[in-house]
Amino acid sequence: MYFEDCVFLLVCISVIVYIYRLFKKKEPRSQSSQLICCDDFEQYARDHVPADLFGYIAGGTGKRLTIPANIEAFKKVQLMTKIFHPVINVDLRTMFLGRVADLPIGIAPSSARSVIWPDGERCVARAADDMKIVSILPMLGSASIESIAKSAPSAVHWLQIRLCKDNAHMSLIHRAEDAGFEAIVVSADGARGLRCKQHKFPTKLNTECPNFNYKSVTTVLDQLIEPCVSWHDLDDVISETKLPVVLKGVLNPDDAIEAVKHGVQGIIVSNHGGRILDGVPSSLEMLPEIKSAIGDDVDLYFDSGIRTGSDVFKALALGAKGVFIGRPVLYGLSYQGEEGIKKVFNILTEELRIAMIHTGCSSISKISPAVIRK
């Protein structure tokens, strides 16, 4: 009986150990190790950012047709690899309006930075400073022009403006000049995009607007933004500033040609990430057409839909001198502030580097339409 009791006891212990191991929670991997692409950061933001705020950031106008169209456009572009063409080290530097940047990727203007992460506006500026890339400060951002310049004194700052009633934007241009900003980005849109209920402007985003003497962003949008703008208004900006002017939101090649005639020094091909008008062409579809229309007369940049380093590569191959990203920056910011942004850029950089190696491009200047499968 003693032997049988011992066997029974051993069996019971084995069963208990098996059940324990079966139901024991595995030690989770570090959160950071699970974030290996931009989509992972988007999912992290979806899980951790308040639903109404995430809906506003990720959402768009109308039926939201343009947002997926921007992303799908990249999937239709195929790259041609180049074998036995030894490229090990690649040079990722490029020029933004004559200024060297360590990456061909800049930070697009976007709202909600300081709502997503404490002092988020300055986090973005410091991250850009550390990475030696261009960062565009939104006019309606949560930090003043002067405080951004002070927080990241060696960064390349551009100021985004929207044209305002009574030329209220002109004072911002002068302040940007005094603060050491290097370009003025004019967003080519007046009317606000209409959104469905779940993507309305969240109350928590209605913060103070330090670049104006207003207590809320919605007050600026409702009372100050000029809904009807013209080429003459752009002329006034160009004649008012000593800084180069970049026009953001161009999709029509005819508009690009006209912008060059009016004296802009840069164009950002963009549909604003599907946030202004739904049902327009993807930005990537229009990029080569605009490049063909204006050639090398001005610097051509791109935004809308970039989620991988391969996407960056494709935009450069189709004619962009550099690209800007918006939503991925906010997703990185939601994870770990400044460090989260840099992690997103590290991922994009490595993906871009791999694309360059496999297509035989040793530098950004070597990327051309020849790497695109016709």
What are the chain's domains? 31-361 (3.20.20.70)
> 90-128, pLDDT tens digit by residue?
999 999 999 999 999 999 999 889 889 999 999 999 999
> 326-342, pLDDT tens digit by residue?
999 999 999 999 999 99
Residue 27: left (phi > 0), alpha (psi -120 to 50), or beta? beta
Bridging pattern class, strands 94-96 and 99-101: antiparallel
Whether 358 is a known active-site residue: answer: no
pLDDT at 130: 97
Bridging pattern class, strands 94-96 and 156-161: unpaired
In whole angstroms, what is the distance from residue 182 CA to residue 176 CA? 8
pLDDT at 25: 37
Q: pTM for the full model?
A: 0.88
From the list 157, 199, 272, 358, the catalytic residue is 272
pLDDT at 34: 87
Other CB atoms within 10 Å distance of the CB of residue 80: 13
Cα-only R_g, the chain: 24
pLDDT at 257: 98
pLDDT at 122: 96
70: enclosing H helix or E strand: helix 66-75
Taking 70 as the pLDDT cut, the residues of the chain under it are 1-33, 190-207, 215
pLDDT at 21: 41
> 29-60, pLDDT tens digit by residue?
446 568 999 999 999 999 999 998 999 899 88
pLDDT at 61: 86
Other CB atoms within 10 Å distance of the CB of residue 1: 5
Q: Which of 119, 112, 47, 57 is nearest to 335 (CA)?
A: 47
Q: Residue 79, exposed/middle/buried by CB under 10 A (0-12, 13-18, 19+)? A: middle
Q: Which of 43, 133, 52 is nearest to 92 (CA)?
A: 133
> Using an 8 Å Cβ cutoff, are 301 and 321 in contact?
yes
Q: How many CA atoms are closer than 13 Å to the CA of 234, on its beta-carbon side? A: 24
Q: Which of 314, 322, 226 is nearest to 269 (CA)?
A: 322
pLDDT at 196: 52
